């Protein structure tokens, strides 16, 4: 040992002398209990009790205030409250009184727990939870005696029949899972659009003519025969919603898309192909339509192609033409399923 080593070893606990060993990670135990003012001064305790009582009484008063504001303040009354501006007086009073009531109960409970309830620390020792050996032996012998007396080990046919019954009876509930179906089959592929159905303007319920649709305009349409009073109107329109734009034919890049329209009038599904949000944030100069949910962007001048965002399919286009009476009408349903993709989607 060199001189330096012995110097460094001076600070370490010495080995081989248990009497003098110091455990550096010894459990320090609980610190000595410190009393609170309320524990030693009865007047302070009384004061805390009064404060807590007052808080609870205040909660009761605020609750009465809540009832009173509901009964007395007219619903239409509007007041100006400085930081929030013009608000309904009743809403403000209801929220304020209920907030005060709940806050008083909470503050009172915390003040009670911190100043008056016992704050002495207790150690709760943990012990193994297994039973003593003689108790375990007794349980095992009792169980084996029960098995022998019931005849489960001897009468095998009966036992197996019981096991069968216990298995089959719960399994019979499996048939109930049928009620989660039936599978959508072709329901998601078809919409209310069909050949010959005229395009009805959502704004005035009138069939649209090509001369109604100006370049740069945006119009929403529903299929002929669908009424807003129909019971399944929302369900039908969730798939059939249509937006109609008119683009200068020279600006249309996709030949097939132009052919499916009428002199620049193009009809696209309004349902985003990502997760089915209604999209119609149409920029008439760029011919882009954006989805407000995840910013998928479609180019209506290029066959509804996705040019940005998470959408996986172009926007389905409805084939339209002008019928004998001069109205815009569909030549069939959408050629692709509208809306988001799904497992059974064929195209």
Partner 1 sequence: MEKLSARRRHPLAALVALLIALAAAGGLYAAFAPTQQAQANPAQSLAIDQGKGLYDVGCASCHGTSGQGSHNGPSLVGVGAAAVDFQVGTGRMPAQQPGAQVPKKRPVYTQPQIDQLAAYVASLGPGPAIPNPSQYAPGDVASGGQLFRTNCAQCHNFAGAGGALSEGKFAPELRNVSPKHIYEAMLTGPQNMPSFPDTTMPEPQKRDIIAFVTHVTNPSSNPSYGGLSLGSLGPVPEGLFGWIFGLGVLVAASIWIAARTAKARK
Beta carbons of 247 and 300 less than 8 angstroms apart: yes
Among the listed ranges 20-28, 53-61, 177-185, 285-293, the one in contact with partner 1 (CB under 8 A) is 285-293
CB of 284 to partner 1, least distance (A): 4
214, 229, 255, 346: which one contacts partner 1 (CB under 8 A)? 214
Residues 15-74 close enough to bind partner 1 by CB under 8 A: 34-40
d(C-alpha 222, C-alpha 270), whole Å = 11
Beta carbons of 223 and 217 less than 8 angstroms apart: no
Select 90 or 191, whichever has its Cβ closest to partner 1: 90
218, 226, 293, 331: which one contacts partner 1 (CB under 8 A)? 218
Beta carbons of 99 and 93 less than 8 angstroms apart: no
Select 219 or 257, whichever has its Cβ closest to partner 1: 219
CB of 94 to partner 1, least distance (A): 11
The residues, any chain, with a CB within 8 Å of residue 264's CB and separated by 6 or more, are 215, 246, 247, 248, 249, 252, 258
Phi, psi (degrees; rounded to nearest 5) at 63:
-65, -40
Select 27 or 211, whichever has its Cβ closest to partner 1: 211
Based on the shown chain and the rule CB under 8 A, indicate whether residue 245 belongs to the binding site for partner 1: yes
Residues 137-196 close enough to bind partner 1 by CB under 8 A: none
Select 280 or 323, whichever has its Cβ closest to partner 1: 280
| Binding-site size, partner 1 (CB under 8 A) | 51
Q: How many CB atoms lie within 10 A of CB 180?
A: 7
Select 268 or 282, whichever has its Cβ closest to partner 1: 282
d(C-alpha 52, C-alpha 46), whole Å = 10
CB of 12 to partner 1, least distance (A): 36
Select 61 or 293, whichever has its Cβ closest to partner 1: 293
d(C-alpha 83, C-alpha 136), whole Å = 71
State the binding string over 118-147 for partner 1 (x if CB under 8 A, else -). Answer: -x----------------------------
Q: Tell me which residue of 333, 332, 322, 197 sits closest to 263, measured CA to CA.
A: 322
d(C-alpha 226, C-alpha 234), whole Å = 10
159, 190, 288, 305: which one contacts partner 1 (CB under 8 A)? 288
Select 39 or 302, whichever has its Cβ closest to partner 1: 39
50, 114, 136, 154: which one contacts partner 1 (CB under 8 A)? 114
Select 41 or 344, whichever has its Cβ closest to partner 1: 41
Sign of the alpha-carbon torsion through 323, 328, 329, 332:
positive
13, 184, 292, 326: which one contacts partner 1 (CB under 8 A)? 292
d(C-alpha 314, C-alpha 297), whole Å = 10
Among the listed ranges 138-146, 187-195, 201-209, 334-342, the one in contact with partner 1 (CB under 8 A) is 201-209
Burial 313-337, CB ≥16 within 10 A → b, else e: bbbbbbbbbeeeeebbbbeebbebb
3-state SS assignment for residue 245: strand
DSSP state at residue 13:
P
The contact set with partner 1 (CB under 8 A) reads 34-40, 78, 81, 84-88, 91-92, 95, 110, 114-115, 119, 201-204, 208, 211-214, 216-220, 245, 278-286, 288, 290, 292, 295, 297, 308
């Amino acid at each position: 040992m060199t001189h330096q080593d012995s110097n460094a070893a001076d600070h370490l606990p010495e080995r081989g002398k248990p009497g003098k060993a110091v455990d550096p990670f010894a459990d320090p135990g609980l610190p000595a209990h410190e009393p609170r003012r309320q524990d030693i001064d009865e007047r302070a305790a009384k004061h805390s009790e009064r404060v807590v009582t007052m808080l609870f009484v205040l909660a009761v008063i605020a609750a009465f205030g809540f009832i009173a504001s509901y009964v007395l303040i007219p619903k239409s009354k509007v007041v100006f409250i400085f930081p929030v501006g013009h608000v309904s007086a009743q809403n403000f009073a209801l929220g304020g009184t209920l907030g005060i009531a709940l806050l008083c109960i909470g503050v009172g409970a915390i003040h009670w727990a911190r100043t008056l309830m016992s704050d002495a620390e207790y150690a709760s020792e943990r012990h193994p939870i297994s039973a003593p050996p003689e108790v375990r032996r007794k349980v095992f012998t009792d169980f084996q005696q029960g098995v022998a007396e019931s005849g489960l080990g001897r009468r095998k046919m009966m036992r197996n029949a019981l096991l069968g019954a216990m298995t089959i009876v719960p399994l019979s509930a499996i048939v109930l899972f049928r009620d989660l179906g039936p599978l959508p089959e072709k329901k998601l592929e078809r919409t209310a659009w069909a050949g010959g159905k005229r395009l009805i303007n959502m704004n005035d319920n009138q069939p649209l003519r090509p001369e109604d649709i100006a370049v740069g305009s945006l119009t929403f349409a529903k299929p002929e025969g669908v009424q807003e009073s129909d019971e399944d109107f929302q369900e039908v329109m969730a798939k059939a919603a249509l937006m109609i734009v008119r683009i200068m034919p020279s600006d249309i890049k996709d030949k097939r898309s132009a052919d499916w329209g009428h002199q620049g009038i193009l009809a696209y599904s309004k349902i985003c192909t990502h997760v089915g949000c209604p999209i119609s944030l149409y920029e008439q100069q760029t011919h882009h339509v954006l989805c407000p949910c995840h910013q998928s962007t479609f180019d209506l001048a290029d066959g509804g192609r996705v040019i940005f965002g998470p959408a996986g399919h172009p926007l389905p286009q409805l084939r339209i033409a002008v019928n004998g009476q001069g109205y815009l009408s569909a030549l069939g349903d959408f050629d692709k399923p509208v809306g988001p993709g799904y497992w059974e989607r064929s195209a």
